[in-house]
Amino acid sequence: MILREIRRSYREELNALYAETEADALFYWAAEEILNKKRVDAVACLPLACGRHEEERFLSVLARLKTAEPIQYIFQKAFFDGLELEVNPSVLIPRGETEELVQWAKEYLKEKENPLVLDLCTGSGAIAIALSAAFPSACVHACDISSQALRTAGENARRCGVEVDFFCWDVLSPALPPALSDKAVFDLVIANPPYVLPAERERMRPNVLDYEPSLALFVPEDDPLLFYRRIAAIAIGSLKPEGWLLAEINEALSERNEALWGACGFKGVEIRRDIHGKPRMIRGIKP
């Protein structure tokens, strides 16, 4: 089959799920994996035929994409802050908004010598690994409730050549683990916890709703700040004076988060907007 015809199939058969530009992006991602060609080279090859084995792989990927399965899970990889990470249905696929949170953290940590960092609800380990890669002298700890997610995070750290102390812990648990039971030592506590309201389900795309882990997405409708209240309590006890607490937030709850962290004792509480102008990040400073 001519490569251009395969691209047409992606456009036509995915039009119920994705815009044409998105379908093209999925096709070229598949081309890079199957043909080992970057997009510019795949474009040059559009008039050419691919082999039968390659054609079968393209169509197999297309069949899975038609079910709304994310292409990151199909090829078990995602890209975050210049790093290639393994992803699977035990972890959320890292987003660009979270990269912006990491950039905010980097602005702060660049002034610190041998900083201590705690990443809560680490998932794939994206935040912890990106910060460890950017600051080799940092000591980074990270936790998650999911042992499966931690296995993925540990493998990602190994692949990226960084050291992160991963441990299994539910941040909602009232008992603190040994990593947090000592005196306040951390320069930064950072988190991307669950924050999606059940009422928002109807607006979510099936590639997220049907495939990504609900445990890492949803909070109770009647207590949407559950994780932020607990994270603030952990950080107040674990941060050094003037240490920062950073988190990604639900844009619809930014004002409530700002008020909550102020009431929890943080100063300098600030909401930062993402590249799309949405309030998606929050910072608090321990007095």
pLDDT digits (tens, 9 = 90+) for 257-273: 999 999 999 999 999 99
CATH topology (fold) of 88-285: Rossmann fold (3.40.50)
Token output for 80? 């975050």
Q: Is 277 helix (H, G, I), strand (E, B) or coil?
A: coil
What does the block give as tokens for 125? 């380990």
Is the predicted pLDDT of residue 171 greater than 90, yes or no? Answer: yes
Taking only the tens place, the pLDDT of each residue in 156-170 is 999 999 999 999 999
The whole model's pTM is what?
0.96
Query: Rounded to the nearest 10 degrees, how much is the dihedral formed by the CA atoms of 82, 88, 89, 91?
Result: -40
- Residue 190 burial (CB < 10 Å; 0-12/13-18/19+)? buried
Residues making up the chain, counted from first to last: 287
Q: What is the pLDDT of residues 40-83, one digit of tens each?
A: 999 999 999 999 999 999 999 999 999 999 999 999 999 999 99
CA angle 254, 100, 276 (to 5 degrees): 65
Q: Is the pLDDT confidence value at 184 over 90?
A: no
